[in-house]
Amino acid sequence: MQSIQTRLPTSGDQLVLAAIWASVLLAAVLAYLPGLDGPFLLDDFGSIKPLGDFGGVRDWDTFRAFVFGGHAGPTGRPLALLSFLADANDWPTESWPFKRTNLLIHLLTGIALGVLVTQVLKCIGAGRRDARRIALVTAAVWILHPFLVSTTLYIVQRMAQLAALFLFAGLALYLHGRMQTRAGAWTGYLTMSAAIGVFTPLAMLSKENGILLPMLAGVVEMTIVAGRRDRLPALNRLWSAVFIVLPSAAIFLYLGKIVITGNFFEIRPPRDFSLYERFLTQGRVLADYLQHWYLPKLYTTGVFQDHFIKSTGWFSPPTTLLCYLFHAAAVAFALVRRRELPLLALAILFFYASHLLESTVVNLELYFEHRNYAAAAFLFLPVVEIAYRKLDARGFVLTSLAIVVLAGSFTRYSASVWRSLPSMIESSALKAPTSARAQGQFAKLLFVSGDVDRALAVVDRAIETIPADDPLLLTTRMYFLCATDRLEAGEFDRLAARLEGLPFDSRALKAYNTLAHEILTGSCPNIEAARLEGVFVRMLDVPVNGKPTSLQYSHINFLIGYTRVYRGEGEAALEAFGDSLDARPGPTHAMAMAAMLASNGFNAEALILAERGLAKLREEMAANAKLMYKVKESDILGFIETVRTDLAAGQADDTAGPAE
C-alpha cells in the first residue's frame, strides 16, 4: 500500500465518486428487477405465513406472537421477523414488497461494506481518495455478484442479509474507534465497545451467526492492525479479553461440545449424514464456494442443493483431503504473512472465520449459497488493490468496468430465472440432475401442466440416477400413478418395500399425506386402505423411526391414525393419534386430529383428544401466559360443546324406540 497515492480528494473527485456509487446502485436495481416479481419459496412460508395465524398482526398480542414466536433458530430471529412487517401484516399477501425490501437491504449492506473497506484501507495507510476508489470497486463487485442472487431474492434469507449488514456496520465502527486509540483517547475504546456490544446482539437477533462479530474483529486485529503497529498501539489486554478473546473462545467451546457430546459419528434424521461426514464434506463445499466466487456462473441451482454428495472418508472422494490441504495451506499462509500482506490475510481469514458456525459441525444442510453473503466480503479486495497499484488509471477503470458489467450481466440473467417458479425449477432440474428436490419439483410441474408421461419419465430417471432411495421421489411416483389410475398392487408393493426401510424424512410428510389422501378417497381402486396402513406400521420397525420421543414416530403414527379414520376404525385411530401426541404433545396438533375424528363421525374419540388438547393448552398457558397459539381455549371449548351435542343427539337416536 505504500505506493498508493495519498493526495486528498477534491470536491470534484467526491462528486464523481458519488455519481459512480449512484450508478452502481442503479445498475443493481436494474439487474435484480426481473426477479422482484418472483414467488414465495420453501422456507418463506414457514417464516412469513404466520403473519395470518391470528387474523393478521393488528395489536400488541399478535405483534408479540409473530415477532417473538419465530422458530428458525435458537434466538427466534425477531429483528428479521420484525422487518417483514414493513412489507405486510397479514397472509396471504404478495411477494413483491418483500423482495423489494430485500433488494434495498442488499444495497444498504453493499454501502456498509464500502464504508468498511474504506476504513480498512485507511487503517493501513491508504489515502482517503485511494481508499474510496478501491472500496467502491470492491463493494460494486460484491453488490452485483451473481452468487448472491439467491440470498437477495429468497425472501427468508433477509435474516442472513440483516446479520451481514450489522456485522459490516459493527466492524466499520470498530475500526473507526480503533484508529482513535492512536491518540490515546478513551473515546476509542468507548466506540469499539459500542461497536461490539450493540451490533453483536443486533446481528444475532437477525441470525445466530451474528455472534461471530467479536471474532471477526479479532481477525481484523490480527491482519490489518497487526500490519501497522507503527500507527496503532496494542489493545488493552483486559478489554481485548472481555470483548474479543472470551466471546471467540466461547464459540470454539460450543463447537467442541458438539463434537464431544453430539453423537459425532451417527446419522441423525432428517439428515442423511453424520456430523463427522458433514465436517469432511465442508472442505469440498468451501472450495466450491470459492470457485463460484472467482468463476461465477450464469445461474446456479439456487435453493436446490441436495445434490452435493457427502464425503464419507478422507479419501472418499479423494478431493476431500485435497480440499482440506488447500484450506490449511491458505490459513497457514495468511497467518504467517499477515503483517506483510494484510489485505490478503484479511480476505482469507475473514472467509474461514465467517463460515465457522455454518460450515463445520453444526447439524445444518450441507450447502447453501447464502452462507457466503458476509464471508465473501473481502475476497476481491486484494485483487482490486493490486490492480489499482499495478495498472495505470485508464487500465484500472476499464478492467474494473469490465468485471462489474460482467457480474451485473450474470446477475440480470440469474434474476430473470427467479422471475417465476417454473423457470427456477426447470433451470435447477437441468443444472442438477441428481437433486431429488429439483427433479421432484420439476416432475410435479410437468404433471400439473398435463404432461403425465414426461413427469413420470423425469421421476423414473431421477430414481435410477440418484444413488440412494429418496422418499420424496418414491412417493411422487406413486402419487402420479395413483392420480391417473395406473397404480397396480404389484408396483405399489415394490415401491412401498423401498420406502419402509428408510429413515422417515419428516420434510416429506406432506407428500405422504397427499398420497394417503389419494388412496383413501378412492383414486387408486387397486390399493386397499389396509395395504397402505401396513406400510406406515412397518416403517416403525426402522430403529430411528421407532423411538417413542422422536418427530418421526409422531408423524408416522399420525399417518397411521389418518389411515384408520378412513378405514372406519375410530378406537384404533385414537390409539395411533395418542401415540403421536405422546411423542410431540401440543394443543394445535391435538385439535387437528380431533377435528379429523369428529368430521368422520367418531365423536367420542374426538372428545378425548380435544380434552387432552385443552389440558395441554392450559398447562402451557399457566407456565407462560404470554404464549399465543393458533387454537384458543374458547375455540376448543366451543368444539367440545358442539361434539358433545352431536354425541348426545346420536345416542338419543340410538336409544329412541320405534314410533307408535
- Residue 307: pLDDT band with limits 50, 70, 90: confident
**How much of the chain, in percent, has pLDDT values that exceed 70?**
95
pLDDT at 5: 46
pLDDT at 526: 84
- Residue 571: pLDDT band with limits 50, 70, 90: very high
To 5 degrees, how large is the angle CA 88–CA 91–CA 96? 50
Secondary structure (DSSP) of 456-524: HHHHHHHHHHSSS--HHHHHHHHHHHHHTT---HHHHHHHHHHHHTSPP-GGGHHHHHHHHHHHHTTS-
pLDDT at 125: 87
When mean pLDDT is compared over 299-308, 496-505, 558-567, the highest value belongs to 558-567
C-alpha cell at 313: 472418508
Q: What value does the CA radius of gyration of the chain take, rounded to a whole number of Å?
A: 29
Rounded to an integer, the average pLDDT of 194-213 is: 96
C-alpha cell at 453: 408421461
Alpha helices in 181-274 (DSSP H): 186-204, 213-220, 237-240, 246-261
CB 412 within 8 A of CB 30: yes
pLDDT at 631: 75
Between residues 522 and 597, the one the model is more confident about? 597
Q: Is the pLDDT of residue 275 over 50?
A: yes
CB 343 within 8 A of CB 120: yes
Looking at residue 340, the DSSP 8-state letter turns out to be T
pLDDT at 626: 67
Of 209, 332, 355, which is closest to residue 286 (Cα–Cα)?
Answer: 355
CB 227 within 8 A of CB 338: yes
Q: Is the pLDDT of residue 189 over 90?
A: yes
Rounded to an integer, the average pLDDT of 165-180 is: 95
Between residues 485 and 200, the one the model is more confident about? 200
Q: What is the mean pLDDT of the chain?
A: 90
pLDDT at 171: 97
Whole-angstrom distance, CA of residue 128 vs CA of residue 323: 38
Rounded to an integer, the average pLDDT of 331-339 is: 95
Of 201, 203, 200, 173, which is closest to residue 189 (Cα–Cα)?
Answer: 173
Rounded to an integer, the average pLDDT of 33-56 is: 89
Rounded to an integer, the average pLDDT of 203-214 is: 96
pTM comes to 0.89
Whole-angstrom distance, CA of residue 113 vs CA of residue 122: 14
Between residues 232 and 98, the one the model is more confident about? 98
Rounded to an integer, the average pLDDT of 96-108 is: 97
DSSP3 helix / strand / coil % (the chain, rounded to 5): 70, 0, 30
**How much of the chain, in percent, has pLDDT values that exceed 90?**
57
pLDDT tens profile 490-535: 988 999 899 888 888 888 888 888 888 888 888 888 888 888 899 9
pLDDT at 652: 61
Q: Which amino acid is at 592?
A: A
Q: Is the pLDDT of residue 197 over 60?
A: yes
Q: Is the pLDDT of residue 359 over 90?
A: yes
CB 199 within 8 A of CB 170: yes
Cα atoms found within 13 Å of the Cα of residue 48, Cβ hemisphere only: 27
168-172, 345-349, 369-373, 463-467: lowest mean pLDDT where? 463-467
